[in-house]
């Protein structure tokens, strides 16, 4: 029966089987295109189809010319196809093939087919070589399936490995047994059996490979499904663990899903979670709130619509949402939902009340700190730092506008005596009341009163001419005196009074602003030197009426710039000496029995001692050549002054001696005569 089977028919059947395998593998490739392996199997089946078609040409010698070429092509298609199947199995299992041995097998197959066809036509040898090589590749495929399969296809891999192994063993037996003389098969039985092995083994192996591919795909789908379920559970857990209130909203504004915080917030605010969660139109809810004059809801709904329309990549808005029992703030964020499909947005509301309250507290603290840093702790008016800042700004503004800027500097008269008499607590109270009176006297918001240091105060009067500044200064002088704070140790009045210097000046852009300080300070010392409780200005005489009346018939010494030596310390002390002399003149001529006269004389002598010491130190530093003689004159004057003070009584004769000593000896003969000798030491060279 085997001998009656036509070889050509078997070859056609083998070609049809290869064609069916090619179609099956192509379908598998469509089902799972990303899977490595089916592509190689489909190419292997295509090569089998080509080999079978070429093999049929042997039946038609007129078409093939000679059967040598069809035989070689057919053998190469069988072996080459099996090599591709092996390569596909390795790639399917996630392995890479070693191409060197495979190429060597292909070359060996081609050489054997060529030798045993063209050089020495030997059919049994051809069959033995090709079958052995085919069997070896089948064994290699079986081994790869057994070694490298994954647990999800373990059973199928073993079954397919068995098919490849049986197929290889059958081909090896059909070639080895006759060659060894163990089995004698008459022609064409060996060829028929070989075709039967290929016709049975090849489809079974192909079916097994397709089943393995589908098992792998199903396992991965199950794993992906499990992963998706796990991801959903994880996403829900993450969303529910967040404190932000999160919702997913579609293009129409309908809520698709919300997290636990969203539901809890609705419940805590007395709302039914079902009415503000899935299925609710969030945009309609915002629009309804906007109709009730909720501007934040209207703005937030507009932001959501812009993100849904693609006009904004993200929308963020902070807004208050106060409850009856607490103040609350939230930040709302609207971001596009990633991925393909219909446009959606993620809406998240986060409670930022704690941060907002901290910001408000910090702002309040900064405000208080700024006030503390700009306010004098004792008097409550501006301190010097604040004054310097405002003065610098106003100077620059007046430099641009060309307007007049006025400064008023004042000093409480005999404040040291006040402290010594009444104590520092009363001294502080005196400063507080004086500062309050000064500040209240300034009526414009642009005016500024500040404590300049100790008992000195200063006022800044922008856009004010000299007449206006003097008027303000005179009001301050009268208002402070009007406080009627008793001052028994004052030489000018029984109450606390102030001496004031007033400066009105332009502000040249290139000049130093500090020059105005020096000028108004000099005017203040002029007021003190001219009897105190008065106002002195840079070009307008505005003495206090009471002070003028008190000083009628009294000789006064006035400071003149011609007296200046060029050294700031010496000149300042000389001005103080003149002021002290004027005070003594006023006391001695008007009230020689004043109890403060003795104190004033002691203070004057002490001032002279300190001045002589400072002057000698300064002259020594500039190498004044007449320092020795000058120092000796100081000693003589101090001895005379000490003797006069120690023998002083309240009678007019003693007072006259002291007046002559101060006016004649100290000022006229020493300061305005002897001291001129060292003026050249401080003059700047021309």
Three-state secondary structure string covering 146-170: HHHCCHHHHHHHHHHHHHHHHHHHH
For 2-223, CATH number?
1.20.1070
CA 292 to chain centre: 38
- pLDDT at 177 exceeding the cut of 80: no
For residue 371, what are the CA distances in angstroms to 100, 390, 478?
87, 14, 30
Mean pLDDT of the chain: 85
> Which has the minimum average pLDDT: 486-490, 556-560, 587-591?
587-591
Place of tokens 């206090």: 544
Residue 496: how many CB atoms within 10 A of its CB? 23
What pLDDT is stored for residue 591 in this prediction?
Answer: 56
The answer to whether residues 273 and 245 touch, using CB atoms and an 8 Å cutoff, is no
Contacts 24+ apart (CB under 8 A), 290-297: 296/320, 296/321
- pLDDT at 162 exceeding the cut of 90: yes
What pLDDT is stored for residue 438 in this prediction?
Answer: 96
Work out the pLDDT band at 42, boundaries 50, 70, 90. Answer: very high
CA 596 to chain centre: 66
What pLDDT is stored for residue 575 in this prediction?
Answer: 82
Three-state secondary structure call for residue 512: coil
Q: Quick one: average pLDDT of 204-213?
A: 91
Work out the pLDDT band at 529, boundaries 50, 70, 90. Answer: confident
Q: Quick one: average pLDDT of 179-196?
A: 73
What pLDDT is stored for residue 363 in this prediction?
Answer: 87
**CA 106 – CA 115 distance, rounded (Å):** 14
- pLDDT at 64 exceeding the cut of 60: no
Q: Quick one: average pLDDT of 464-488?
A: 93
- pLDDT at 449 exceeding the cut of 90: yes
Percent of the chain clearing pLDDT 90 (strictly above) = 36
What pLDDT is stored for residue 682 in this prediction?
Answer: 84
The answer to whether residues 477 and 516 touch, using CB atoms and an 8 Å cutoff, is no
Place of tokens 């050509």: 8
- Residue ranges of domains in the chain: 2-223, 242-356, 381-552, 554-686
CATH 3.80.10.10 fits 381-552, yes or no: no
What pLDDT is stored for residue 67 in this prediction?
Answer: 65
Work out the pLDDT band at 548, boundaries 50, 70, 90. Answer: very low
What pLDDT is stored for residue 511 in this prediction?
Answer: 82
**CA 435 – CA 31 distance, rounded (Å):** 94
> Which has the minimum average pLDDT: 97-111, 272-286, 644-658?
644-658
pLDDT: which is higher, 295 or 447: 447
- Quote the Cα angle for 282-286-287, to 5°: 115
pLDDT: which is higher, 519 or 667: 519
What pLDDT is stored for residue 179 in this prediction?
Answer: 66
The answer to whether residues 394 and 405 touch, using CB atoms and an 8 Å cutoff, is yes
Contacts of 164 (CB under 8 A, 6+ apart): 138, 139, 141, 142, 145, 201, 205
Q: Quick one: average pLDDT of 117-139?
A: 84
The answer to whether the predicted template modeling score (pTM) of the entire model surpasses 0.85 is no
Three-state secondary structure call for residue 248: strand
What pLDDT is stored for residue 651 in this prediction?
Answer: 55
List alpha helices for 442-511, DSSP H: 466-482
What pLDDT is stored for residue 303 in this prediction?
Answer: 93
Q: Quick one: average pLDDT of 384-408?
A: 92
> Which has the minimum average pLDDT: 4-18, 52-66, 236-250, 282-296?
52-66
For residue 218, what are the CA distances in angstroms to 38, 158, 208?
16, 18, 15
Q: Which of 552, 407, 544 is nearest to 478 (CA)?
A: 544
pLDDT, tens digit (0-9, with 9 covering 90-100), for 316-375: 999 888 877 788 899 999 999 987 788 999 999 999 988 888 988 888 888 877 777 789
3-state helix, strand, coil in the chain (%, to 5): 65, 10, 25
- pLDDT at 377 exceeding the cut of 80: yes
- pLDDT at 659 exceeding the cut of 80: no
Place of tokens 């002070």: 547
Place of tokens 């800027």: 405
561-598 b/e with 16+ CB inside 10 Å = b?
eebbbebeebbebbbbbbbbbbbbbbbbeeeeebebbe
For residue 649, what are the CA distances in angstroms to 598, 636, 642?
9, 22, 14
DSSP 354-394: HHHHHHHHHHHHHHHHHHHHHB-TTTSSB-HHHHHHHHHHH
Work out the pLDDT band at 543, boundaries 50, 70, 90. Answer: very low
> Which residues does residue 449 pair with via DSSP β-bridges, in sequence order?
459
CATH 1.20.120.50 fits 554-686, yes or no: yes
For 242-356, CATH number?
3.30.450.20
List alpha helices for 591-673, DSSP H: 596-621, 627-646, 652-660
pLDDT: which is higher, 543 or 166: 166
Percent of the chain clearing pLDDT 70 (strictly above) = 90
């Amino acid at each position: 029966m085997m001998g009656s089977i036509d070889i050509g028919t078997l070859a056609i059947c083998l070609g049809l089987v290869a064609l069916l395998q090619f179609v099956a593998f192509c379908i598998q490739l469509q089902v799972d295109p990303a899977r490595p392996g089916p592509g190689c199997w489909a190419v292997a089946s295509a090569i089998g189809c080509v080999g079978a078609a070429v093999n049929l040409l042997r039946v038609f010698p007129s078409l093939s010319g000679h059967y040598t070429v069809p035989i070689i092509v057919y053998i190469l298609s069988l072996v080459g196809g099996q090599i591709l199947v092996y390569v596909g199995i390795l790639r399917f299992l996630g392995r890479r093939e070693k191409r060197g041995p495979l190429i060597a097998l292909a070359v060996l197959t081609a050489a054997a087919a060529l030798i045993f066809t063209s050089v020495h036509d030997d059919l049994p040898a051809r069959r033995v070589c090709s079958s052995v090589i085919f069997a070896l590749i089948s064994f290699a495929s079986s081994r790869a399936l057994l070694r490298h399969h994954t647990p999800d296809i373990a059973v199928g891999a073993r079954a397919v490995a068995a098919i490849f192994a049986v197929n290889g063993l059958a081909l090896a037996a059909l070639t080895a047994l006759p060659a060894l003389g163990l089995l004698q098969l008459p022609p064409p039985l060996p060829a028929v059996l070989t075709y039967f092995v290929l016709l049975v083994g090849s489809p079974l192996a192909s079916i097994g490979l397709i089943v393995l591919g589908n098992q792998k795909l199903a396992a991965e789908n199950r794993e992906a499904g499990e992963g998706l379920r796990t991801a959903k559970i994880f996403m829900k857990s993450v969303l529910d663990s967040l404190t932000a209130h999160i919702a997913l909203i579609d293009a129409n504004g309908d809520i698709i899903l919300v997290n636990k915080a969203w539901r809890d917030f609705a419940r805590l605010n007395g709302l039914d979670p079902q009415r503000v969660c899935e299925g609710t139109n969030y945009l309609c809810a915002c629009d309804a709130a906007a109709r009730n004059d909720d501007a934040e809801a209207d703005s937030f709904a507009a932001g959501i619509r812009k993100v849904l329309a693609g006009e904004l990549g993200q929308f963020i808005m902070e807004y208050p949402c106060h409850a009856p029992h607490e103040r609350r703030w939230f930040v709302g964020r609207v971001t596009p939902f990633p991925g393909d499909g219909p446009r959606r947005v993620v809406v998240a509301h986060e409670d930022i009340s704690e941060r907002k309250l901290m910001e408000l507290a910090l702002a309040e603290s900064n405000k208080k700190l700024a006030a503390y840093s700009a306010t004098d702790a004792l008097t409550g008016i501006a301190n010097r730092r604040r004054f310097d800042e405002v003065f610098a700004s106003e100077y620059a503004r007046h430099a641009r506008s060309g307007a007049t800027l006025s400064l008023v500097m004042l000093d409480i008269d005999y404040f040291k005596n006040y402290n010594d008499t009444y104590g520092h607590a009363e001294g502080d109270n005196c400063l507080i009341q004086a500062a309050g009176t000064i500040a209240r006297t300034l009526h414009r918001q642009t005016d500024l009163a500040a404590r300049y240091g100790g008992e000195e105060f200063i006022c800044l009067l922008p856009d004010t001419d000299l007449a206006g500044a003097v008027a303000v200064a005179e009001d301050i002088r009268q208002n402070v005196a009007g406080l009627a704070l008793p001052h028994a140790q004052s030489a000018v009045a029984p109450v606390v009074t102030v001496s004031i210097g007033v400066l009105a000046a332009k502000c040249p852009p290139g000049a130093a602003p500090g020059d105005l300080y020096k000028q108004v300070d000099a005017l203040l010392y002029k007021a003190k030197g001219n009897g105190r409780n008065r106002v002195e200005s840079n070009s307008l005489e505005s003495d206090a009426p009471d002070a003028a009346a008190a000083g009628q018939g009294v000789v006064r010494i006035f400071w003149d710039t011609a007296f200046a030596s060029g050294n700031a310390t010496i000149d300042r002390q000389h001005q103080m000496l003149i002021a002290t002399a004027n005070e003594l003149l006023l006391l001695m001529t008007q009230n020689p029995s004043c109890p403060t006269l003795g104190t004033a004389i002691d203070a004057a002598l002490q001032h002279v001692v300190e001045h002589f010491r400072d002057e000698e130190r300064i002259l020594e530093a500039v190498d004044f050549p007449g320092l020795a003689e000058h120092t000796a004159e100081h000693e003589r004057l101090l001895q005379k002054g000490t003797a006069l003070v120690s023998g002083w009584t309240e009678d007019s004769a003693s007072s006259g001696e002291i007046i002559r000593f101060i006016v004649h000896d100290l000022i006229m003969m020493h300061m305005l005569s002897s001291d001129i000798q060292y003026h050249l030491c401080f003059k700047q060279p021309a």
